[in-house]
Amino acid sequence: MKNTSLKNSLTAIAFFIAIAVFSQNKSQNTLPLDVFYSKIQAEKNPQIIDARGPEEFALNHLLGAVNFNLESKDYAEKIAKLDKNRPVFTYSIGAGRSVWLAEDLLKKGFKEAYSLEGGIANWIGNGKPFFANSKSKLTLAEYNKIISDNKTVLVDIGSVYCGACKKVKPVLETIKAQYGSNLKIVEIDLEDNTQVIADLKTIKVFPTLILYQNGKIILKKEGFENLKNEIDVALASK
């Protein structure tokens, strides 16, 4: 009985140590935008990997990035072309595929591998340089006019490739049904409006919801949880 208890205790201790190590590695290797950007700037020819799918990469990406992830058929061939002694910078739509990729590179002997906190949403959303294969359908001037011409506006900023962004859509339908013409809802996707998202210089993650009233922001929310309740509370207090 004592041996069993001791074994269970040791197992529990090992489990918590593993969690602590994982959390520490994640915090060390997932960098905030300013640090990530500074490290890239310090490299003559930075090794940047876009860990999204090829369709996403074709629409927009960081300048100088190459595209592959853990599921790519030529993954081994791709990483063989990288210099293990130089840092590698990874990013995705948020911080999922890029985190896994950075961790795998470290396991394979790379000295430094970093993922970008907030992913490409954070990069483009704060005006860092990028490539886009088309112009935004909406300009910043047009965006500002929508805000000024309508008393109450809810802006949904995200991406068609963002899982959490898809969960916002039914919530928006419920909000639209409740408020009708009293609330204008504007949906802005990265794929169609890359430049206006960059020009706003205020987006860190997808989705981001911004509620305006009389031209002023009364609520800015990252994520979709409790969205309707927070909208209701914000509008009721005005």
Long-range contacts of 107-110 (CB under 8 A, 24+ apart): 108/79, 108/84, 109/84, 110/82, 110/84
200 given a catalytic annotation: no
pLDDT for 237 = 84
Is 162 considered catalytic here?
Answer: yes
- Domains recognised in the chain with CATH numbers: 2-132 (3.40.250.10), 140-236 (3.40.30.10)
Q: Flag residues of the chain having pLDDT under 50.
A: 2, 4, 6-26
CA–chain centroid gap for 100, Å, is 15
Looking up tokens 């369709």 gives: 55
Of 165, 175, 196, 203, the catalytic one is 165
b (16+ CB within 10 A) / e for 79-111: beebeeeebbbbbbbbbebbbbbbbbbbeeebe
Supply the pLDDT for residue 11. 44
Quick one: pLDDT at residue 28? 78
Instruction: Output the pLDDT for position 1.
Output: 52
Which candidate in 51, 113, 162, 211 is catalytic?
Answer: 162
Backbone angles phi, psi at 33, to 5 degrees: -55, -50
